[in-house]
Structure 1
Amino acid sequence: MDWLGLQLFADLPATGRIVIDCRHEPFLVLLAFSVACAACFATLDMAERQSHNEHPTAQRQWRVLGACCLAGGVWAMHFISMLAFQAPVEVHYDVSLTVLSLLIALIVAWLGMNSLNRSQMRVQHYLQSAVLIGAGIILMHFVGMAALETGARQYYQTGLLLACVVIAILTSLAALLLARYFRNGSGTLHQALKYGASVVMAGGIVATHFTAMSAMTLVIPADTALRLPSADNSLQLGLTIAFITLLISGASISAALADKKLQSKEHDLRRVSILLSQLDQARASLQQAAHYDALTNLINRRGFNQVFAERLAEQTTSQNRLAVMFLDIDHFKRINDSLGHAAGDELLKVIANHIKAATRSHDLVARFGGDEFCVVTSLNNRDEARHLAQRIMQRMKEPIDLGGRRMVMTTSIGISIFPDDGHTAEELLKHADLALYQSKGNGRNSLNFFNDSLKTRATLALQLEEELRIALLEERGLCVHYQPIFDLRNGQVAKLEALVRWQHPQHGLLGPDRFIGIAEANGLIIDLDLWVLRHACADLAQLHRHGFADLKVTVNCSAVTLSHDELPSEVEKALYHSALAPRHLELEVTENALMGDIQRTVNLLKRVRALGVALSIDDFGTGYSSLAYLKRLPLDVLKIDRTFLQEVPGSQKDREIVQAIIVMAHTLHLQVVSEGVETVEQLEFLETHGCDYLQGYLLGRPVALGELRPILERLERDKGVLSPCCDTAIPGSPDLFASSPGYRASASIARRGH
């Protein structure tokens, strides 16, 4: 095959002279390899810069520069290697073919750089590009060989020729993979690997060239005169080309380094700008989080304090008035307990919108946490504050659809006025809170303005709290009174309800309504309940030793104490220290106290009952009255609340309710105690309908232990205060306990212990 004077796949001729004394100048070969290494390194740098630039124009410029470096390096390696070729014949080069080989190298290099610009390279893309680039390199090589004029004809061995093609394609594939790999990365290791990759690529290019040269055989035709070589300037020419190529590669590498540094600085500046922007956003977010409630988007307590202080300063200057309103959602805890906290959060959002809708645009509306809200509004007189509060309360009564239920919420509001009720934010908020406490104490769903009596009452409550804490710590002043519970079957006193009292040094004998709320609000109620439990057990044990061995004592247990995990062990300890049998103790728990974590409550009550202690549910009918809960609870006694008995027997509805409760309790195998028995008619009604036990002022009021023993002894002598048939009381005073000379407690105190 004759192509441009090259015999690529032809056999050697039968005639002619073979040029066998051919060799290469080692220095020029090493120089060619160095040029190739520098060009490959520059090409890898250009590929990296091309991928790191975002602007198409810059990418195109780096692509062109990379193509020039690669083409110049490959072509210079080829030309210097040809200059290193030495044969015993005169050698010349065809300029046009030499230039053509350079153009082919440029086109191949451009194709290679363009391939690296793909966002994604698949296997077929690598193979196609490698074959195309390898073929281009082979074409460039043989066009360059065709430019060699020696007077001899070039014959090539087929095997080595094909090996040259394979090496060119593999070298191209390796170059693409390496250039793709080294587009990203940094550091000393990355740079060292790039140097190694450049040597590998240059080695492949040099191997392609010298494999092709090994395949070549020069044959001088028989009719051609042999022209001996003359002095040449191959070394100077090779050094010049190498210098130019290395200069171009070095300039390109320097440009890449400068661009890399510049881009790194731009990247750092961009990062700094982004960080500053993120910092501003974070500062704004923190400002939002610090001063606004995430759930309702209302201002929170911290933001409220800041804005409120500014408004107070403005009002002080202008001598205008302000109203501070504290709002608390009535019975909000029930929503969380029954529907869950997610439903509670949704409800708070709706409530916040209701409050904002009822207020004016310039009013300050804040959420302090939980279900507490605060509104600050400017006004001319107190009636404006009242009207705004009534507007909010009316808006709150609008039905709300939540969790598949339609409900109506109410709110309690306390109001303080600036400057009448205080001049500082702390004073105004504290006084509004006191007024709110008054609203909640009056039955909720109401509003109250602050007045001095509330402050006096709060001061008294604080004083009572401190004194109650000392009384509990020193066990001084607290005492237990006992109210009898009669068995209707025999008319005897069967049980005693232990009711706590406080003999205060200044205020006299205080009932539980004066200090139980204080104990619950300040974490003293558990200690108080356990104190009553221990003293009631000890007092009953003393009565047993004086001959009243059949008596039981019932002790009230608050909701907080009922959630105390150590309650069973405390009961066991109280029984042990008083040497009292568990069957003589009965714990009373209110219905509402059972409605928290019902499973935990059931487990705790089972542990108490396992000791042998009886359990009673007090105030039945005033809370949830859930039969589903009632059947799960390990109870022994059900106590009918006094409110159902007040209109008996006059009210038919109350009679039917009491009858139904008695029947239901007996169906559940529970004994029934009715409290609040104050008339003979009520007693007869309860006896007729099968009530088991009676308790009330008609039969006896609470008395101290010292007054209790004589009365019990008198009852023992008289064989009870009720006749066996219970038609009427026995002769004498039926209110035997009420006639005790030591009795001083009011009717409200005797309702229940706490």
Structure 2
Amino acid sequence: MDWLGLHFLAELPASGQILLDCTHYGLLVVLAYLIACAANFATLDMAERLSHAEKPEAQTLWCWLGAMCLAVGIWAMHFINMLAFQAPIEVHYDLHITVMSLLIALIAGLVVMRMLSNTSLSTTQYIHSSILVGLGITAMHYVGMSALRSNATQYYEPRLFALSTLTAIASSLAILLLAVRLRKGSGMLHQLYKVGASLLLGAGILLTHFLGMWSLNLVVPAASALQPATSDNSLQLGLTIALIVMLIIVGSISAALADKKLQGKEHDLRRVNALLSQLDQARVSLQQVAHYDALTNLINRRGFNHIFAEKLLEQTLSGGMLAVMFLDIDHFKRINDSLGHDAGDELLKVIADHIRNATRTQDVVARFGGDEFCILISLNNREEARHLAQRVMHAMKEPIALGGRRMVMTTSIGISVFPDDGKTCEELLKNADLALYESKGSGRNALYFFSSNLKTKATLELQLEEELRGALRDGEGLLLYYQPIVDLQTGHVAKLEALVRWQHPQHGLLTPERFIAIAEANGLIAELDNWVLRRACRDLSLLHKGGFERLLIAVNCSALNLAREELAEEIRFALEDAGVSPDRLELEVTENALMGNISNTIELLKHIRALGVSLSIDDFGTGYSSLAYLRRLPLNTLKIDRSFIVDIPKSQQDMEIVQAIIIMAHTLHLKVVTEGVETPQQLDFLSQYGCDYAQGYLFSKPAPLELLLPLIQELNQRKPASLWPPALPPQFTGLTTSGNLFTDSLIPYIGATVAHPAG
């Protein structure tokens, strides 16, 4: 059988000279093999991009690019090997036939890539495709052989010719199988698999070529003169072709890598955007929930403050008047103590209805918490406020059936009027609160307007301010209490939150609620925060010497102090002065504090973070920060406010919100701390949904450091499976507990020192 001047089944002529001493130039053979391997690696890369392409035009691009890489690679391997072929006759190649062999290789490459564009291939498709591609590779080889021009006639040994064809088909099948198998995956191991597969496929294609060459017999006329084999310019031409082909292949691989990175970033961005969209929706829902009281369905303090600010601006522009009324139910604590909290909740619902019915439609009624209500009204004169307050007090006296009893409740009311008693929300609320205390101190069931006679309380605040200055100046009276933060993975105490207390000579142990506002209002907060910071660093040094080298201390930073550029330098100095490693200190900032001046805040936090100090966002979920800003902040930890924990597991909505916040935080690579954990059920829920740390009365109330050390040692010796409740020390076995086993077990440690806990 003759084809393109090639003899496949014909017998060798009886006369003639058979050339058996043909050789190959070894360097070009190795180069040809490397080209084949690179082409196969590029094809595997193109197949991977083809499977990930989402647009039809992108699929077409990768299909053609992959076909080109495979075609030029196989063709270059064949042609360079032909250049390496050395025979003792003069040899040259026909350009047109050589180009035709390249086109055949391109068609075979297109078949491969079209098959790989399918999401799955059947066994029949694999077989048909591999046969078609194998025949294409074989045709490319023998068409390329026919381009060889010399005075010799080409005869092929049939068995080796058939074996080369089968090898080409097997190599094609291997290409398809490996490309399908390796088009999904990532990482270094995946790349090593592709390199190994490329080496194997390159060997298969090289074997196809040499089986064809081994089947070749060159016959020249007997009278022909032979000459020594020469390499002339074969090496230079082979290197040139290899360089061109490698540039094509490397360029294609680089394009595939760039597209892979770009597509990965696009997927990450879409995933983050989808998550941010969901979280924005959750935030809107959360804000709606956060502005209304779940028990009475009245507006809560946050919602009231928002409306109050709008009303105040409106009346300021129009020159109108507003009245703020603080209401407190007289002796409400007796109801909770005698009938229980459930009965107290039912009573609050009835009282809320009475207040709503006694007010006008345009009046704003809010519940601030406990038995404390607030009413905001627009009015023309002060007497309107008095009449409305009397109407509310009269409505409150209607008998209420509760727990099988009929009872009558009374209320004390304090009133402040805009603009007479203040120009800001804070001032008006404070003055109404002062009037309320006057009403309660005067026998209750009464109403009082704010007046200059109530300046006595303001004088007391001024006195506290001066005494606080003295305490900061002399370093006497201020104390640090600590509350443990437990790692839910290990059950060990990972951190301590530093909480300032003031041992006042007349008023006893004061919690931050009593004097932090005074410090912020009078420019003392920076000095107070710095005192807490320096004392916490000294305590860290003591902990290190006592064997607690890995224990961190979290220090709160007020919103006003966060606006000071000197803060980073003060932190650095406190750490160096105490000889403490920065990674053992964590700075807690509230959500709203971050939003004051976001650009300056981010720069300041970056400077603090550069020191090695960890950063935590406190009371998350209670403010109005944008989730878009959260990605820009150099935070380590997110702290969920206790208001979302208190009703778990009763509130399904709170559970879903907490779960969403945990997922969001972990997506942004933040650790999560949940405060206010008081029950084992809450702890189980947080552990189940991947919360990292927990803090609350379930573990311990705030206490001085020296009294907490025994508890820390005990917890740090326990196994994670026994996180709650802790075993009591042997000397306290059999202790009768009236409440929380965890808290009561601390009684021997902290005793009366935790009589006034606060967060």
What TM-score bracket applies, with the shorter chain setting the length? 0.3 to 0.5
Larger Rg: 1
Task: Give the TM-score normalised by the residue count of structure 2.
Answer: 0.44
